[in-house]
């Protein structure tokens, strides 16, 4: 059974870059799409972006100018970079596996990692 | 962007109750809707995909219906482990969006 695990710094300073990695175990990456979702404390879920197994990326326009997601199937990882962070980027960040059918859903999630932007 | 409006945002119910949560989309999304359950401090868990298909391992008391702009998640007989927050998500077009959530609490 495939498992996902987020890793990266838990604290980031304002204006710096948030970098997280999701490591995939227990299966092949090239039959799924991959995504990042975040959840500010006490609030709802926000989709950040997807990377397809082809490498194509799709981002939330609200973050598009600041976000990059990239895939490294040789390491069985995909990563998130979010630049110029502010306190509004404080959230639990989840990575997720998305099925490739039309309207594919997120069927497997990492445990999540809390990232706090502090000064 | 497609907006998803969930109602109610908060629901108080008893064990054994039948519970229905509604998710309305601002435009038609065919059946490209998923439902997730989230417990405090945990990652969301997929319950229903393609509006009405039960994810493997999810109890049969959960069911989903709808297409187009109106969808429902029904729990036929609420169990203690079902007290959680439920989210819908549309997967019809980018950007993917979530509903605001429905918190189900014990009466």
Per-residue pLDDT tens digits of chain A, which is 119 residues long = 999 999 999 999 999 999 999 999 998 888 999 999 999 999 999 999 999 988 999 999 999 799 999 999 999 999 999 999 999 999 999 999 999 988 899 999 999 999 999 98
Q: What is the pLDDT along chain B (107 residues), one digit of tens a residue?
A: 999 999 999 999 999 999 999 999 999 999 999 999 999 999 999 999 999 999 999 999 999 999 999 999 999 999 999 999 999 999 999 999 999 999 999 88
Chain A touched by B68 (CB under 8 Å): no
**Inter-chain touch A109–B43, beta carbons under 8 Å:** yes
Predicted local confidence at residue A53, as pLDDT: 87
Among B2, B58, B90, B95, most A C-beta atoms within 10 A, so best to mutate, is B95
Paired tokens of B48 = 């229903």
Looking at residue B74, its pLDDT comes to: 98
- Taking only the tens place, the pLDDT of each residue in B88-106 is 999 999 999 999 999 999 8
* Cβ pair A107:B44 closer than 8 A: no
A45 touches chain B (CB under 8 A): yes
Q: Which of A60, A105, A110 sits opposite B95 (nearest CB)?
A: A60
Report pLDDT for B47.
Answer: 98
Asked if B34 is an interface residue toward chain A (Cβ–Cβ < 8 A), one would say yes
The verdict on whether omega for the bond into residue B99 sits within 30 degrees of 0, i.e. cis, is: no
Which of B79, A4, B104, B13 minimizes the C-alpha distance to B35?
A: B104
Q: Is A34 on the interface with B (CB under 8 A)?
A: no
Detail the DSSP E strand segments found in chain B: 4-7, 10-13, 19-25, 33-38, 45-49, 53-54, 62-67, 70-75, 85-90, 97-98, 102-106
């Amino acid at each position: 059974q495939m498992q996902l695990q987020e890793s990266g710094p838990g604290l980031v300073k304002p204006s710096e870059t948030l970098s997280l990695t999701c490591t995939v175990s227990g299966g092949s990456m090239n039959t799924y799409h991959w995504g990042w979702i975040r959840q500010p404390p006490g609030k709802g879920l926000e989709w950040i972006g997807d990377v397809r197994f082809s490498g194509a990326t799709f981002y939330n326009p609200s973050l598009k100018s600041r976000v990059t997601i990239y895939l490294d199937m040789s390491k069985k990882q995909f990563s998130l970079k979010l630049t110029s962070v502010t306190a509004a980027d404080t959230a639990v960040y989840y990575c997720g596996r998305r099925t490739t059918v039309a309207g594919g859903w997120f069927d497997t999630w990492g445990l999540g990692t809390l990232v706090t932007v502090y000064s | 962007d497609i907006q998803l409006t969930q109602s109610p945002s908060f629901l108080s119910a008893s064990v054994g109750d039948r519970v229905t949560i509604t998710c309305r989309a601002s435009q038609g999304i065919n059946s490209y809707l998923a439902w997730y359950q989230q417990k405090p401090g945990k990652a969301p868990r997929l319950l229903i995909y393609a509006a009405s298909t039960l994810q493997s391992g999810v109890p049969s008391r959960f069911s989903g219906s709808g297409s187009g702009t109106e969808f429902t998640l029904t729990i036929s007989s609420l169990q203690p482990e079902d007290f959680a927050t439920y989210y819908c998500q549309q997967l019809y077009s980018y950007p993917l969006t979530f509903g605001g959530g429905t918190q189900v609490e014990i009466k």
